[in-house]
Amino acid sequence: MITVASLAPLLGGALLVGGIAAAASRRRELMLRWCCWACGVPLVTAAFWWGRPGTALLALVVSAIAVVEFGALLRLGRTDRTVLALAVAGVVLTAWLAPGQELRAAAVAALALAAVPLLTGDSEDGLRRFGAGLLGLVWLGVLAALVPLGTAALVLFLAVSVADITAYFAGQRLGGPGLSPLSPAKRWSGTIAGAGAGLGVLAALSALSWPAAVAVAVGGPAGDLFESMVKRGTKAKDSGQWLAGSGGLLDRIDSLLLALAVFLVLTS
């Protein structure tokens, strides 16, 4: 059985290898990204080590930051962002304190998002605000899955991260046809290599199942493209600028979000 304790040395080893590779590349952007990972991975691991309260707290913090970035991308006002943050937090807390009632919590959250433009009588921009809020609820509300999945979510996080890094380097080295106009720098060669690396991580951890494989190989790359579509639609390069060398938090968890969603759909 996979435990956080058994994953901790692997995460540490991956960080070490990544640090050596970043230093060898002598690329400032990669070194800054590694520094962010070196700070974030121990915190994430500690949260999962704590169990359900820890994963719930992690999901709450991550979702709050993600809502701020999402709201900025979609040009949502302060009230809309606040209600969306509370809506996502409600789904997360329900997953922790009242498991099995997440869909009911999401329905209540959707009604709250609809109430904001309705109560203000926004006939000009109300539909866009409500649509953006629903998108944010569905996209970011999947973070609630961290609570019931526990270690399985941490395994997905590790596999998706390795797949992303491999795809980045392999795509540059191998070249070939582009993956999608949504992200011109990404190549099919890198995506396939990344999927192979991610599946290799799952196999090495004895966590290889067809839902996990599809989540990593398909959900991960699709999540990256989905965020690219959102950013292109809003003419933004990054979801934020506060993570050195990485843009925003959404830029780092976009693959994981859809991977989690795919895994939930295939295992429910």
CB 251 within 8 Å of CB 225: no
Bridge partners of 180, per DSSP, are 183
DSSP conformation class of 207? -
Tens of pLDDT, residue by residue over 200-229, are 999 988 899 999 999 999 999 999 999 999
187 with 239: CB under 8 angstroms?
A: no
Residue 18: which residues within 8 A CB-CB, separation 6 or more?
34, 37, 165
CB count within 10 Å of CB 245 equals 15
Q: How far apart are CA 261 and CA 87, in angstroms?
A: 18
Over pLDDT 70: what percentage of the chain? 97
* C-alpha separations of 72 from 6, 12, 65 in Å: 39, 34, 11
- Mean pLDDT (whole number) for 159-183: 87
What per-residue confidence (pLDDT) applies to 245? 57
| Cβ 134 vs Cβ 107: under 8 Å | no
- Which residue has better confidence, 188 or 245? 188
> CA-to-CA distance for 255 and 244, rounded, in angstroms?
19
What integer pLDDT is reported at residue 16 of this predicted model? 78
Residue-level pLDDT at 235: 86
C-alpha–C-alpha distance, residues 259 and 53, integer Å? 22
Position with higher pLDDT, 2 vs 136: 136
DSSP 209: -
Residue 238 has pLDDT above 80, yes or no: no
As a whole number, mean pLDDT of residues 14-38 equals: 74
pLDDT per position as a tens digit, 86-120: 999 999 999 999 999 999 999 999 999 999 999 98
Q: What pLDDT, on the 0 to 100 scale, is given for residue 109?
A: 97
* Entry pTM: 0.90
What pLDDT is recorded for position 242?
A: 66
In degrees and rounded to multiples of 5, residue 5 shows phi and psi of: -65, -40
What are the CA-CA distances from residue 240 to residues 90, 119, 220 (Å)?
24, 30, 20
**pLDDT, position 13:** 76
Looking at residue 184, its pLDDT comes to: 84
Average pLDDT, the chain: 89
